[in-house]
Structure formats: structure tokens, C-alpha cells
Amino acid sequence: MDTLSFKTKSLRNEDVERKWYIVDAEDQVLGRMATTIAHVLRGKHKPNYTPHIDGGDFVIVINADKVRMTGNKVNQKEYITFSGYTGGQKRITAKSLMEKKPIRPVELAVKGMIPKNKLGRAVYRKLFVYAGTEHPHAAQQPEKLEL
């Protein structure tokens, strides 16, 4: 009996082909949308996904100010930051954060779903979030990403 030998093809940085996707966040649930975006940013939707290579695509999010949260999260969810100094912990509710910086909840949701290392920082740089419908990436001809 002849044994077949298959080799796993590992993706190299030189072989990565990146596409541009656009996501309309209007009336999308924040967490569900963020998981799909993080999946595409990492490149997990591609058949040649390699964990240690940044093989993901670029994602543009428009209408980030119109994203919604289920339940009473808008009033109850708190974003906590800490400066490192005594008494340097600050808390802000999702509602007031969306009023001050409407793109920040989307950025934080996606950032929490990618690795916390050099690779994660490289992946996060491919995310572009805008509050309105206008974006400066028309030249890249982004495809609409269905959620």
C-alpha cells in the first residue's frame, strides 16, 4: 500500500494578498459585528490561514456612531482605564463614551478580540473606523462585507 504524503503549506509574508472590506455598522450589534471584523483582520476566513503570520485583510467600518448594544448595556457597561498612578482609575459608561468618542466602542471591542502582542498590533493597524458614511479609502475599492 502506497502512503500519500501531504505537506501543509505555510503562508509567508511575501505571499499574503490583502483585500479591502467595508462594513456598515448601522443597526449592527456591537459584539457580533466585532467578532466578524476580528476574524477578517486576522485572516481566519482564508484557507491558507497561518497563526504566526499577519495574513488578514483591511476593514473599514462606517457609521460606527449608529452601532447598537443589546439589553441595558448602553447604561450599565463601563469602560475602565488606569494610568498607573494612585487614584488613576477612570470609569466611563458606554453611553457617555459614545457621545464623546463615537468610534471608540467599536475600536475597543475589536481590539479586545485580537492577540495582545506584536502580531496583534500589526493586525489592529488594518482597522479603520469612521463615525459617518464618508471615508478616504475609495481608491482601494473596498468590497461590502456581509455580517
pLDDT tens across 45-100, in order?
Answer: 999 999 999 999 999 999 999 999 999 999 999 999 999 999 999 999 999 999 99
Q: What is the pTM of this model?
A: 0.91
Residue 10 has what pLDDT? 86
- 105 three-state secondary structure: helix
Residues forming a β-bridge with 144: 22
Q: Which residue has the cell 464618508?
A: 134
Tell me the pLDDT band of 3, cut-offs 50, 70 and 90.
low
DSSP string, 29-64: BHHHHHHHHHHHHHTTTSTT--TTS----EEEEE-G
Task: Please report how the helices 30-42 and 104-111 are oriented relative to each other, as an axis angle in degrees rounded to 10.
Answer: 50
Q: Which CATH number fits domain 19-69+98-144: 1.10.3720.10, 3.40.50.720, 3.40.140.10, 3.90.1180.10?
A: 3.90.1180.10
Interval 104-112 mean pLDDT: 98
Could you tell me the residue ranges of all domains in the chain? 19-69+98-144
Residue 2 has what pLDDT? 57
